[in-house]
């Protein structure tokens, strides 16, 4: 019996005796503001599950050397891409952004069929587009806007600011 009482006493002392920890009297450090605030690439709410078919509009922001006619530097393209994303999310006319700023030589609107789904009409198979394009487009809900960043393998043409239309 004494042995059990001794064990209990050791456990209570070793575990803090059940006492509440004292409040820290130091004020919490304030977070430093970011020097270059950028919008999140993707909206907080995503499509789940991914749809079979989508219609998206996009602004391609490219730079010299990416197999487009763009002549701006990579740094200028990145800056512009984040500006376009912010403007689009604030409600700027997306069609006007496409017309004025996109380096895509097409109209900038594409229908896509997801993996293992047959394309309908003028849709492209997802696998025939650069990976980042489908990775963003199929995760968006209708009306949402997201962006894929430049990546030599997944997004070799630059930044894609994508709005899901259907």
Residue 44 lies in a domain: no
pTM of the model: 0.74
Per-residue pLDDT of the chain (166 residues; tens, 9 = 90+): 444 444 444 444 444 444 444 444 444 445 544 445 677 877 777 778 999 999 999 999 999 999 899 999 999 999 999 999 999 999 999 999 999 999 999 899 999 999 999 999 999 999 999 998 899 999 999 999 999 999 999 999 999 999 999 9
Residue 4 lies in a domain: no
Identify any residues that bridge with 147 across adjacent strands, giving them in sequence order: 161
Residue 84 lies in a domain: yes
Residue 7 lies in a domain: no
First to last CA, the chain: 73
- Domain harbouring 150, CATH code: 3.10.50.40
Judged by DSSP in three states, 9 sits in helix
The token duo for 89 is 């999310």
**Enclosing H/E stretch for 79:** helix 74-90
**Structural domain of residue 90, as residue ranges?**
53-164
Strands 53-61 and 159-164: antiparallel
């Amino acid at each position: 019996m004494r042995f059990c009482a001794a064990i209990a006493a050791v456990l209570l002392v070793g575990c803090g005796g059940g006492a509440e920890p004292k409040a820290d009297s130091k004020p919490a450090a304030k977070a430093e503001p970011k020097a270059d605030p950028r919008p999140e690439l993707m909206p907080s709410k995503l499509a789940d599950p991914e749809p079979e078919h989508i219609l998206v509009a996009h602004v391609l922001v490219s730079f010299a050397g990416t197999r487009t006619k763009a002549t701006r530097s990579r740094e200028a393209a990145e800056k512009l891409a984040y500006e376009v994303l912010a403007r689009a999310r604030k409600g700027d006319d997306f069609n006007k952004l496409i017309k004025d700023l996109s380096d895509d030589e097409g109209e900038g609107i594409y229908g896509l069929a997801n993996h293992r789904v047959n394309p309908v009409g003028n849709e492209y198979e997802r696998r025939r587009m650069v990976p980042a394009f489908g990775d963003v487009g199929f995760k968006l809900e209708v009306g949402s806007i997201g962006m894929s960043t430049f990546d030599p393998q997944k997004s070799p043409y630059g930044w894609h600011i994508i709005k899901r239309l259907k």
